[in-house]
Chains A and B, each alone.
Chain A
Amino acid sequence: MGRIEDALIKAKAEKLTRPHVTAKSQQELERQRSSLRRHGDELATPELPSPPISDRRQVDFDQLSEQRVIAASDQDDRVGPYRQLRTQLLKTMRDNNWSSLAITSPNEGAGKTLTAVNLAISLSRSANTTVVLVDLDLTSPTVHQKLNINPGKGLVDFLEGHAELDQVLFDPAIDRLVVLAGRSAGKQSSELLASPRMHELIRSLRAKGDSHIAIFDLPPLLRNDDAILFTPLADATLIVVEDGVTTKDQLMQSIQLLKNANVIGTILNKVK
């Protein structure tokens, strides 16, 4: 996890050098600075490098709401289900010493990316956990859109060796949440997911232990094999079911396809 941490620190540092646009309190800022310093003490890199050229905006709550990302807000009642989900998952994962969670769905548009994002934010708000949200949809990644991040490079670049980890890690201005964004790749997605770089990534994510959880947003099961290939590598898998849209056939087929994965439950989404 060392590399991620480094990258994280670097990303945060870069953010700090830019002027704020959102209404963040001085206190918030101060807190961030002090946390950075603490990390920095451990790593002994007092020097912050220059920011990369990637275009990154500050995320704000209104924009998040528009993307239906609501878990960052304390006042929104609709966050309730996510909180409950978070509590259950935390317990389960700690009990079993799991650190990686894959999220997929049978059909397109079921809301798995949104669920992954909201869940990741919700998880990150429990004080002891750092969450790394990895957008594994290599054909049409959308996590960055939901968090209003415009990444120059994405996971695929890292997996192909064209980029370093710190170049594809992003800070969505939410504490303890790091996003490993994606970029649309093309056709060789399945092979990349099984590449040595991927295995290394997973290993480093896992090595960190208790305080880190990695959430992988996967493409739909019935679109391609990516989810089927990847889910056995994750500690646990969740299936997102769209209420009134996902058919029983699709669901049962998905269960069958995930027989090698550790499916720990389903999430009924978009309940009307």
Chain B
Amino acid sequence: MLPNQDNSPKSFQEYWAILRRRRFLFLVPFAAIAMVSSLYALSLPEIYRSQATILIEDQAIPEDIVGATISNYASQQIQLISRRVLTIENIQKVIEKYNVYGPADPIEPVPYAIQANWFRDDMDLELVSAEVVDPRGRASEAAVAFTLAFRSSEPKVAQDVTRELVALFLNENRRSSGSTTMGVSALLTSAVESANQELLVAETELAKFRTENEGALPELYQFNFDVISRTEQQLSDVNLRIQELEQRKLQLSAQLSSISPTAPVKLPDGEIVVGDQERLRASLAEYQRKVSIYESDHPDLVRLRREIEVLQKTLGEGGTAALLAQQLTDEQTRLTELRERYSSEHPDIAAAEAAIAELESQLAFARRKEAASAGSPDNPAYVMVNTQLQSAVLESQSLLVKRAELESVIARHEALIKLAPQIGMQYEILSRSYENAKTKYQDLQAKLRAAEVAANVEQNITGQRFTLIEPPALPLTPEEGSVASMFFLGIVFAGGIGVGAVALVESADNSVRGARELESLLGAPPLAAIPYIKNNSDIRHDNRVRLSLLGACAGCAALAVAYVVYWS
């Protein structure tokens, strides 16, 4: 059966009871350690500290740096210089010059790096801030000076080393800074230039492509599409109109052929004078009709022939084309008859053929003349219809032209649309390389600017002057606090050890303590709790212990006093 662990949180009284019970276990280690640490604290050598103050003048705060970071900026500068000054080499020189850490152990010399660490621990570098008004007119804190200090158990050493450090810092300040940042700037500048060139090239190419493929750019796709659909609309309208006009032309032509170009002259009494031209035509038409019915010596025919002759003479030479045409027809008929009767060598046939030829040329001439001297038609009806016809013809012509135009527009834009994907892809490629070139250029620009700022900062560091305003003094009194703090630490440590010892023993203690524990173990409290009964020998023993304890304390106290007296 496992024993029950009484894990309930203990009250303060229980803890106090534990401590009382185990008082020796606590007191002995506590006293021992406290004493040892006190002795150690007392034996520590006194430390002397010497300090110098250096002023930072002409602090030009770069405008890029916002007011809030001014003190960071100053501490960065100081850090920079301190890193350059406090190399292990420099420190070692100082240590050796002033024998800061005693003579070197010939058998096992302490490594330089460790000595340098001691040195840095013994050294102090602190910024002194004050309120300044930055270029923007805001009040803020800036570091205006810094202090250098060194600690040593020898006052003279403290002062000497501090003076040496001051000299080192001031020297470093006077040296001009390296050109590392300058070099970086130069490199960046040339990089920026070449990036700029690339950018220009990409830009030009892109622009060229745009102009070359203006219509086909994907951004114009919709536009082209719209144009096509609009133009097709127009085209269909035009086609419709052309068809209409064709019909109208036909109509008008038909109308025209039935109207005489010359209007009949109306006499004042209402009689219409038929013009010569009309009369001739009428006569001819009548003659034509009658010639196939009657013989040629019919009186109608004779009369008609005579009228026609007169009219022809009145109208002009040769005769009208119509008459000539009639004559020609007659002659041709006669010729055909002749050819049936005679052979082709017959003189009549030859004469007839010559006559036909003559008639033909006359006819042609007459026709030409007729066409030329058709005379301006003066029939209003004729004129109106003719005008309408002419205008329809004109309009039709112009519409045909327009149609051709529209069709070409459509074709052009369809071609552009077809090209669009390919053009689009190429455009994409070119535009992307343009963007890349631009980004690269911008990045390099930014880097160049940053490098310039850094160079400027460094310039400023060396541009500032360090001035010693308080030289290191020879410390007359030692630094306070080290002994007291060591003493205090010792007490705390001793207490800790004591409590730890008690806790350890207590936790390992498996015994039954107290009626409560018994009750929790067995479920019932003890029937009686009988205290320890002391007899006389117990009492005598207690007295002895008490006495010896007292004696021990007194002895320790005496020792401590003697020690302190001896050492101070």
Contact = CB atoms under 8 A, between A and B. Distances in A.
A174 interface: no
B527 A115 contact: no
Given A70-B533, A272-B532, A244 B511 contact: yes
A265 interface: yes
A129 interface: no
A164 B3 CA distance: 46
Nearest to A243: B513
A265 B510 CA distance: 21
A270 interface: yes
Given A85-B528, A115-B530, A252 B3 contact: yes
Interface string A98-122: 0000000000000100110000000
Contact of B528 (A84, A249, A252, A272): A84
Nearest to A245: B511
B511 A246 contact: yes
B8 interface: no
Given A82-B528, A252-B3, A66 B511 contact: no
A249 B510 contact: yes
A50 interface: no
Given A249-B510, A256-B1, A271 B532 contact: yes
B313 interface: no
A255 B531 CA distance: 23
Interface string A246-259: 11110110011000
A266 B531 contact: no
Given A68-B533, A245-B511, A267 B3 contact: no
A146 B187 CA distance: 107
A115 B524 CA distance: 20
B102 interface: no
B21 interface: yes
Interface in B480-524: 510-515, 518, 521-522, 524
B512 A248 contact: yes
Contact of A266 (B21, B514, B522, B537): B522
B515 A268 contact: yes
A249 B3 contact: yes
Contact of B530 (A82, A245, A256): A82
Interface string A223-243: 000000000000000100101
Interface residues of B, number: 27
B4 interface: yes
Nearest to B6: A248
Interface string A111-154: 10011000000000000000000000000000000000000000
B477 interface: no
Contact of A247 (B510, B526, B528, B532): B510
A189 interface: no
Contact of B521 (A243, A252, A271): A252
A67 B510 contact: no
Contacts of A238: 527
Given A241-B518, A249-B3, A268-B518, A81 B529 contact: yes
A81 B531 contact: yes
B376 interface: no
Nearest to A270: B532
A32 interface: no
A65 B536 CA distance: 8
B3 to A, nearest CB: 3
A66 B532 contact: no
Nearest to A265: B527
A269 B3 contact: no
B535 interface: yes
A221 B2 CA distance: 19
B535 A248 contact: no
Contacts of A66: 535-537
Interface residues of A, number: 37
A164 to B, nearest CB: 35
B521 A267 contact: no
A245 B535 CA distance: 20
A85 B524 CA distance: 15
Given A241-B518, A244-B513, A248-B512, A267 B524 contact: no
A11 to B, nearest CB: 28
A84 B527 CA distance: 9
Contacts of A267: 526-530
Contacts of A114: 533
Residue from A88, A241, A245, A270 with most neighbouring chain B CB atoms (10 Å): A241
Interface in B17-72: 21
A68 B535 contact: yes
Nearest to B532: A270
Given A241-B512, A244-B511, A248-B511, A270 B530 contact: yes
A3 interface: no
Given A65-B535, A66-B536, A243-B513, A248 B522 contact: no
B533 A266 contact: no
A78 interface: yes
A268 B522 contact: no
Contacts of A84: 528
A271 B535 contact: no
A248 B533 CA distance: 23
Contacts of B533: 68, 70, 78, 114
B510 A81 contact: no
A207 to B, nearest CB: 27
A85 B521 contact: no
Contact of B3 (A67, A85, A241, A248): A248
B4 A243 contact: no
A237 B537 CA distance: 32
Contacts of B513: 243-244
A266 B4 CA distance: 17
Nearest to B528: A85
Nearest to A70: B533
B4 A248 contact: yes
Contacts of A256: 1
Given A114-B533, A247-B512, A251-B518, 5 more contacts: A85-B527, A252-B3, A266-B524, A267-B530, A271-B532
Nearest first, the 8 A-B pairs at minimum CB distance are A248-B3, A265-B527, A85-B528, A268-B526, A268-B529, A68-B533, A266-B526, A247-B510
18 contacts: A68-B534, A78-B531, A78-B533, A81-B531, A88-B527, A89-B527, A241-B518, A243-B513, A243-B514, A244-B511, A244-B512, A246-B511, A248-B510, A251-B521, A266-B526, A268-B512, A268-B528, A270-B531
